[in-house]
Structure 1
Amino acid sequence: MFNGKKLLALIPARGGSKGIPGKNLRPLADKPLIAWTIEQARRCSWIDRVIVSTDDSVIAETALRWDAEVPFLRPPALAADDASVIDVILHTLDWYRQRDQSYELVLLLQPTSPLRETADIEAALQRLEDCRADAVVSVCPCEHSPLWTNTLGPNGHMKDFLDFKALDNRQRLPTYYRLNGAIYLARTEYFRQRRGFYGDRTYAYIMPSERSIDIDSLLDFQMAEFLFHRNCSCSEIR
């Protein structure tokens, strides 16, 4: 429990992956990718239950082996390419509510963010409390300022592409942040009302870029492996 509130951690992991086939089971430093997120969640003493929502029996068996719960296999409609993670969360909350089990807090941890730490999860929970927030979402600084971006004109024309006078002094440019996909936390009723994590009472938890890899391609996977081994050469990453 976190401050007297029951907390459910949900790890979504469907079997189909277009970018990297078998992504959630692909080894990262001798463990399946999904195992890193399961371990991070299980190390957080505030989490009451760590479950994996999947449609894939092999992922389910792997999750059980790494001590997550897999109370059901996800319905086919929630495993399609156009399925929403919001609906996956609602399905899970409803599944428990139908069995007279309720959770005041819900935490979404995507397995594609293996470099987050348990300390990040705990800090996000503390941020929820300190800000009296209804939701907390992790972000990281943008690698490149969006002020250096624009759409292209016809045939790739770059007329008025950038306001170079405004970009003269890089040190004076504001810091921009992006979603990093690592942590989504909300009070359950707020999540149900909003059908999501975003609203007037949502606050950011800022993570460093080196823990913000969101694996969507082979290059992302290779970058995660590099950062993992670099960190392990200095100290334990977890």
Structure 2
Amino acid sequence: MGGVLAIIPARGGSKGIPGKNLKEICGHPLISWTIVQAIEELGEENVLVSTDDEEIFKSSAQYGHVFDYIRPKELAKDTSPTEPCMLHALEWYCKTTKQDPDYLMLLQPTSPVRKKDRLKEIINFAQKGNFDSALSVCETHSFFWKNTKNPSASYDIEYRPRRQDIEECDKQFKETGSIYLTKTEFLRANKNRLGGKIGLFEMDPVEAYEIDTPLDFSILGLISEYSDEFSSRFNAA
């Protein structure tokens, strides 16, 4: 396994759900679920939380985060794209540790449901496929429509397909937002975490669950109660 730096982005100024990264699920802050898994699978020296918020910084340290990195305010605005934040954190890490990782992994704390060893698996997947970038996806069986003046479907409405009739080449996949992996040299050159030779890393649909609304926290709590693998994440913490 080549060197990998996992970056966990967590701004303090969430408008949709104020303080969402510190909102608790089963007694632990949302962000901690991702921190604990990343440290367990990659090692504390390879995990960097990118935040502009002092409370998130302190909470991250309580769950094993070891770096004194604070994201600059100009990279923590509502309009701030992700890639400049990744590159800033990367260069800080390289300067601080004298290490230059082969890959940069982006882990969204708002998608905390990941099975054990998923991070190692996507690294192996990317290396074996020699992908410039890879992202987590899950298969979707939904039919999509465009709500235009003349609504149109993503399938032929004269021959509505059954799930079992869909051929492998016609299957559709949803970007989960949970894990992204990019070769460091590609990210530096292209300023984009996706591109080049792209690999789709399939995960289970439940792992695509994302926190967007207050109701999502309640649903995620139920998921954790019925998922031994997810709820036991802190047993060793």
Report the count of equivalent residues.
227
Could you tell me whether the CA contact under 8 Å between 2:113 and 2:230 is conserved in 1?
no
Residue in structure 2 matching 1:68, options 58, 61, 65: 65
Structure 1's unaligned 5+ residue stretches are: 154-158
Q: Which moved more, 1:205-214 or 1:170-179?
A: 170-179
Q: Return the structure number with greater helix share.
A: 2
Distance 1:92 1:215 in 2: 24
Question: Which residue of the partner structure matches residue 179 of structure 1?
Answer: 175
| Aligned CA distance change for structure 1 residues 47 and 198 (closer, same or farther; 3 Å) | farther
Could you tell me whether the CA contact under 8 Å between 2:132 and 2:186 is conserved in 1?
yes
Residue in structure 1 matching 2:199, options 199, 203, 208: 203
Question: Which residue of the partner structure matches residue 118 of structure 1?
Answer: 116
Q: Are 1:103 and 2:96 an aligned pair? A: no
Q: Are 1:217 and 2:213 an aligned pair? A: yes
Q: TM-score, normalised by structure 2?
A: 0.87
Alpha-carbon displacement from aligned partner over 1:120-174 (angstroms, at most 9, x marks no partner): 111101101221222211011225233xx12232xxxxx5544421315443233
Could you tell me whether the CA contact under 8 Å between 2:35 and 2:65 is conserved in 1?
yes
Could you tell me whether the CA contact under 8 Å between 1:145 and 1:176 is conserved in 2?
no
Question: Which residue of the partner structure matches residue 158 of structure 2?
Answer: 165
Question: Which residue of the partner structure matches residue 142 of structure 2?
Answer: 144
Could you tell me whether the CA contact under 8 Å between 2:133 and 2:197 is conserved in 1?
yes
CA displacement at 1:52 relative to structure 2 = 0.6
Distance 1:34 1:23 in 2: 9
- Runs of 4+ in structure 1 off by over 6 angstroms are none
Q: Which moved more, 1:221-230 or 1:163-172?
A: 163-172
- Percent same amino acid among aligned pairs? 32
Q: SS of the counterpart of 1:112? A: coil
Q: CA RMSD in A?
A: 2.1
Structure 2's unaligned 5+ residue stretches are: none
Q: SS of the counterpart of 2:11? A: coil
Distance 1:235 1:90 in 2: 30
Question: Which residue of the partner structure matches residue 8 of structure 2?
Answer: 11
Residue in structure 1 matching 2:189, options 170, 193, 212: 193
Question: Which residue of the partner structure matches residue 226 of structure 1?
Answer: 222
| Aligned CA distance change for structure 1 residues 89 and 229 (closer, same or farther; 3 Å) | same
User: Map of 1:5-84 to 2, 5 A cutoff?
Assistant: 5-45=2-42, 48-84=45-81
Alpha-carbon displacement from aligned partner over 1:5-64 (angstroms, at most 9, x marks no partner): 322111110101111111000001110001100011011146742111100000000000
Could you tell me whether the CA contact under 8 Å between 2:44 and 2:66 is conserved in 1?
no
| Aligned CA distance change for structure 1 residues 9 and 160 (closer, same or farther; 3 Å) | closer
